[in-house]
Each structure stands twice: as C-alpha cells, then as structure tokens.
Structure 1
Amino acid sequence: MSSAFDDVLSANAVYAQSFRLSGLEPVAARGLGLVTCMDSRIEPLTMLGLRPGDAKILRNAGARVTDDTLRTLVLAVYLLGVERVLIMPHTKCKMASVSGDDEVHDLIRDQYGVDTRSLEFHTDNDQLGALRHDLERVRHHPLLPDGLPVAGALYDVDTGKLEIVDE
C-alpha cells in the first residue's frame, strides 16, 4: 500500500543508516534560542554556522513571538541551556505581505471554503514594527531573566545575508 509519506520514510531509512547524532546532549551547546519562520528557504543551522545541538530553533509562520513561543523560550532558558535569543523573520514573507489576518481568513474561505476565524495568524505588513514588538515581548516577559541578550535580525532570502535590526 502506498502512502503520502513514502518519500520521507525512504529518505529517513537512508539517513538512519549513517546516523551520527546519538548521544547528543539536549541542551543548546552554543546557548542560542532562535525564533524564525517555517519558510523552507531558511536553513538555520547552515546560515548561522551552527551544528545539530548548538541551538533551540522555534519556527512558526512569520517568526512571531506568540504565547506558545514565550512558553517554549521559558523552558529553553531554564531547562535547555538557552542564554541568548535571536528573532529572525525574513524578506518576502507571506505573513508580512498581507494587510492583516482578515485578508488571510478571506483568502482561505474563498479558495477552500474553510472558516479560520477562530485562529489568530499574527500577520503584520509592518514587518520591522512587528519584530520590534516581539523583541519587547521577550525582553520584558516576567518569567525570563533580566538581562537576557535578545536581538532581532532580518534574513534576506535572495542574498542569504542577515542584517541585525535591533540589538
């Protein structure tokens, strides 16, 4: 019987034959917590000179600091060795190219007949403003340590370059 996942299961079988990460510690070896987008054009380890185990990578649509992102950062800081946080959205992000959540809800409803209004997508076409807002949410979260280094950077999907926006 064929499965929609045969390709990934086959690739995993090949990967497992030469698996070398057994025994890797669960902490962020380089103390980095990275919040970035789920966009498949972003290769966080390679682009930042990291290896498996170096960082805790949190990905979501638009690289937004949601309540769940904050929950995960609290765990990462206290239990998983995160000592600094980089929030990294990217250019040409779909979540920053719409006028707001209403536009996305309407698009999904019109094209697929699904009402998504029970969800908040956190879209914002002022990408740098949204980034600064998210930086402040992390910097001032009452459960995160005072003085936790937090920076924001914009990744350019056309050049591969990272530009610090707020440090």
Structure 2
Amino acid sequence: MSSFDDIFAANAEFINGFKSQELTGEAKKGLAIITCMDSRIDPLRIVGMRAGDAKILRNAGARVTEDVLRTLILATTLLNVDRILVMPHTDCRMASGTEDEIHKTIFEKSGIDTRSVEIRTVTDQVAALKSDLVRIEQFPMLPKGVQVIGGIYDVKTGELKKI
C-alpha cells in the first residue's frame, strides 16, 4: 500500500463526476492572487471568484520572491492578468518568529540545518506586505498599468483588510 493510494482513490471518484469547464489558461477576471500555502485559505472564495477567474500563486508567508516575480511576468504578459492582490494572513507561522528561531525549530524537529535557505519570516506583516507591494510596483519587467494592492486575510473572521 502506497502512502498516496488515498489520493489516487479520491481522484478516481472525482473523475466519475467530472465535467470539463472548457476553461483556458487565462485569468478571466484579470486577477493574480499571491497568498500563503496555508490550507485555511480558499483564495477564490474569499474574493467571490471561481475556477478560471484568477491565477493563484502560493508560498510560505505569501512573500514576493524571485519565483513569484517570474510567474507574474508570465501572468501579466501571456495570461490576461492586469491586477495583482498580495494576501498574507493572520496566525501565519512565518510571522511567528525570527529567521533564526524558525531554523532552530526545524533543526530540533528534523536534525536538518536549513540556515542556507532564506525562510523569509516577518515580524511586522504590514511592513513586509508594503515592501512586497513596492517590489512588484517597481519591477521593470511587468507591463505598465498593472494594478497592485495588498490585503491581510483574517483566518478567524474571513475579513480581507485592505492595506
């Protein structure tokens, strides 16, 4: 028995009721959402959209990394994105300790030294979000006129607070 058997069994059931939505790879509503990998976040539902409406980019802490910028180049030039929402959230593990503390915790739990990897923790989510917004706004490889906004999603109330 494989540790992935449940995944493929669930997919077999999914196929039984699957109906193609005939969607393209473009974002129908022109939106890209950068958010955290936290499974409490359902980005499309939070903003009242459905599959095919937006591009979703996820990573630990909803940070604007080099890979996010690379993906935004593709989304804004090839996939109909002209609006970008950066959406970190409350109760985020990446905002609960310093970089050194997170590395220490990982080492204690796994014995693996991760200090060569930038985890990108934050002690002030609003300041980090504002910095990430500026990073997108000033990134020269994105088309002029792309609109950028930030909001912090509250995992307890469901509110998206505009920053």
TM-score (norm 2): 0.96
Pick aligned residue for 2:125 from 124, 127, 132: 127
Amino acid at match of 2:108: D
Query: Whole-Å Cα distance in 2 between the matches of residues 47 and 86 of structure 1?
Result: 12
Equivalences, count? 163
- 5 Å-filtered alignment, 1:7-156, equals 7-98=6-97, 100-156=98-154
After TM superposition, the score normalised by the length of structure 1 is 0.94
For the aligned residue pairs, the C-alpha RMSD in angstroms reads: 1.0
DSSP 3-state at the match of 2:50: coil
- The SS at the match of 1:77 is helix
Residue 7 of structure 1: CA displacement? 1.4
Structure 2 equivalent of residue 161 of structure 1: 159
SS at match of 2:64: coil
Instruction: Name the CA distance, whole Å, in 2 between partners of 1:148 and 1:19.
Output: 35
What letter is aligned with 1:121? I
SS at match of 1:87: strand
Q: Could you tell me how far apart the structure 2 residues matched to 1:52 and 1:20 are? A: 13
Deviation per residue, 1:103-151 (Å, 9 max, x gap): 1111111221001112111111111100000000000000012221000
Query: Which structure 2 residue ranges, 5 or more long, are not aligned?
Result: none
C-alpha distance in 2 between matches for 1:134 and 1:9: 37
Q: Unaligned stretches of 5+ in structure 1? A: none
What SS does the corresponding residue of 1:136 show, helix, strand or coil? Answer: helix
Give the superposition deviation at 1:22: 4.9
